[in-house]
């Protein structure tokens, strides 16, 4: 078991969950010290020792199911098992017991039923290179779990057992919880069988989910986007504290000649102690140019949220959004009660389409140059957000070069994988030479690393 814990900790590190050697030793001591009566207690002990961030729990749970699956119990009750039949169940259909098990909410019964459903409907094939989600979908489709839930709720309405709205709501939540427990039990059983066939190390590499900070903005599910929004504000606070501490502890400064000579009077005019002026690091001005067309709108939303949450780290922040036209939206951020409200106002109010409503970087840069070049100065950092895909319109890189010449720094954050740059209608090859850096920025981890560098 101790070897399994060590291998489990190594796999968590490969999944980018930070697990130290000390935490691994704590987990191994927990196995020796605590009376671990089963997988539930083992899961709780390892969670306490190895997980420091709640966003890492989904990865932990998936890998735990791969590494520490208990041996299966009986797939069906002997009284229900029929004779004969090539699948070992005879005429018995385990899905017939599904309504009663859900209505009762008995976790033990649901676990036994899950094993029976997997045996009957999953059809796991040795050597077939498909994941657990494929077999899970087969089982759920065969059992029609949603249909069974609707039937149970309808039966309750007809019988009048849930006439009270509060009782009806309680019943719905009770059935939903039972259905979710069955789904998890089915997934655990499928995982156990696949791990027995393929080995825990190989299966974990196939099933390992990405950490929230590594989820691609442009391919995130609705649930992942909601989770990322929840961690943005804590991330912004942590970054702001780190940047403020860096400024506060910056000890280098120019020579204070008069102060050094004055202090040397106590040593007979010998400048034994050199005095330095306190550094005055000017905060940069920031101008943000964000492509808010459909293909990159999610990326722009997250980036604007984080940048404006860190506005105190800049002396001024001006924000412009574009598609094929440009509009300044600084006022929306300045006069809104929250960043979320400001972004919603930007989406409703910004006038960003002046032609066909498709991304046209050349036209957007031209309009910005005509109307807003005065926003740039020797202390300005320009931040361009977009995938640099111009729908085969003229790129006008000379305008971007003029913007870069007037500003102190120009960075471009691109949410596309670097391997795609330059393909199709991408204008990266024309814009990159004008930038101090064109940076791949596809997830929260890369975004936080860049903002840390920027400020």
Token pair for 355 = 């032609």
| Rounded distance between C-alpha atoms, residue 322 and residue 386, angstroms | 10
Per the document, the length of the chain is 455
| Rounded distance between C-alpha atoms, residue 307 and residue 346, angstroms | 15
- The predicted pLDDT at position 77 comes to 44
Q: Rounded to two decimals, what is the model's pTM?
A: 0.66
| Contact criterion met (CB below 8 Å) for 332 and 346 | yes
Alpha-carbon Rg for the chain, nearest whole angstrom, is 30
Among left, alpha and beta (phi > 0; psi -120 to 50; other), residue 425 is alpha
- The predicted pLDDT at position 419 comes to 92
Q: Write a three-state SS string for the chain.
A: CHHHHHHHHHHHHHCCCCCCHHHHHHHHHHHHHCCCCCHHHHHHHHHHHHCCCHHHHHHHHHHHHHHCCCCCCCCCCHHHCCCCCCCCCCCCCHHHHHHHHHHHCCHHHHHHHHHHHHHHHHCCCCCCCCCHHHHHHHHHHHHCHHHHHHHHHHHHHHHCCCCCHHHHHHHHHHHHHHHHHHHHHHHHHHHHHHHHHHCHHHHHHHHCCCCHHHCCHHHCCHHHHHHHHHHHHHHHHHHHHHHHHHHHCCCCCCECHHHHHHHHHHHCCCCCCCCECCCCCCCCEEEEEEECCCCCHHHHHHHHHHHHHCHHHCCEEEEEEECCCEEECHHHHHCCCCHHHHHHHHHHHCCCCCCCCCCCHHHHHHHHHHHHHHHCCCCEEEEEECCCECCCCCCCHHHHHHHHHHCCEEEEEECCCHHHCCCCCECHHHHHHHCCEEEECCCHHHHHHHHHHHC
- Residue closest to 326 by CA, chosen among 360, 296, 375: 360
- Residue closest to 211 by CA, chosen among 200, 220, 199, 201: 220
Q: What is the mean pLDDT of each run of 10 residues along the chain (455 residues)?
A: 83 87 89 74 88 84 75 44 41 75 80 84 74 80 82 63 70 83 82 72 64 83 82 81 68 71 78 70 82 87 86 85 92 86 88 85 93 90 93 94 94 93 93 94 88 72
- The predicted pLDDT at position 200 comes to 63
| Rounded distance between C-alpha atoms, residue 359 and residue 351, angstroms | 14
What whole-number percentage of the chain has pLDDT above 70? 84
Token pair for 381 = 């950092």
- The predicted pLDDT at position 86 comes to 39
The count of other CB atoms within 10 Å of the CB of residue 419 is: 8
The count of other CB atoms within 10 Å of the CB of residue 290 is: 26
- The predicted pLDDT at position 142 comes to 84
- The predicted pLDDT at position 344 comes to 87
């Amino acid at each position: 078991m101790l070897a399994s814990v060590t291998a489990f900790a190594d796999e968590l590190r490969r999944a980018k969950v930070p697990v130290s050697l000390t935490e691994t030793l704590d987990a191994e001591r927990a196995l020796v010290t605590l009376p671990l009566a089963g997988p539930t207690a083992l899961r709780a002990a390892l969670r306490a020792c190895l997980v420091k961030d709640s966003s890492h729990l989904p990865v932990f749970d998936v890998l735990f199911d791969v590494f520490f699956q208990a041996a299966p119990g009986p797939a069906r009750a002997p009284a229900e098992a029929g004779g004969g039949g090539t699948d070992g169940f005879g005429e018995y259909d385990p899905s017939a017991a599904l309504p009663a098990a859900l209505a009762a909410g008995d976790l033990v019964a649901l676990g036994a039923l899950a094993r029976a459903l997997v045996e009957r409907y999953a059809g796991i094939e040795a050597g077939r290179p498909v994941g657990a989600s494929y077999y899970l979908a087969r089982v759920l489709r065969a059992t029609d779990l949603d249909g069974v839930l609707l039937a149970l709720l309808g039966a309750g309405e007809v019988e009048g057992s849930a006439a009270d709205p509060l009782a009806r709501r309680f019943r719905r939540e009770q059935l939903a919880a039972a259905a979710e427990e069955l789904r998890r039990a089915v997934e655990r059983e499928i995982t156990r069988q696949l791990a027995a066939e393929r080995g825990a190390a190989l299966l974990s590499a196939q099933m390992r989910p990405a950490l929230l900070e590594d989820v691609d903005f442009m391919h995130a599910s609705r649930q992942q986007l909601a989770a990322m929004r929840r961690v943005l504000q804590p991330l912004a606070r942590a970054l702001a504290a780190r940047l403020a501490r860096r400024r506060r502890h910056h000890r280098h400064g120019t020579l204070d000649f008069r102060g050094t000579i004055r202090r040397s009077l106590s040593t007979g005019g010998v400048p034994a102690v050199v005095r330095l002026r306190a550094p005055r690091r000017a905060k940069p001005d920031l101008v943000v140019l964000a492509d808010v067309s459909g293909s990159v709108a999610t990326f722009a939303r997250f980036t604007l949220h984080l940048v404006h949450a860190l506005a105190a780290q800049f002396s001024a922040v001006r924000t412009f959004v574009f598609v094929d036209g440009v509009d300044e939206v600084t006022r929306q951020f300045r006069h809104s009660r929250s960043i979320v409200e400001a972004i919603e106002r930007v989406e409703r109010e910004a006038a960003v389409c002046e032609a066909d409503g498709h991304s046209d970087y050349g036209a957007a840069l031209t309009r910005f140059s005509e109307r807003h070049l005065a926003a740039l100065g020797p202390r300005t950092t320009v931040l361009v957000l977009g995938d640099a895909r111009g729908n085969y319109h003229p790129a006008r890189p000379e305008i971007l070069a003029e913007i870069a010449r007037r500003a102190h720094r120009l960075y471009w954050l691109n949410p596309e994988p670097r391997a795609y740059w330059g393909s199709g209608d991408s204008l990266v090859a024309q814009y990159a030479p004008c930038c101090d850096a064109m940076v791949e920025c596809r997830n929260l981890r890369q975004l936080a690393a860049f903002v840390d560098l920027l400020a």
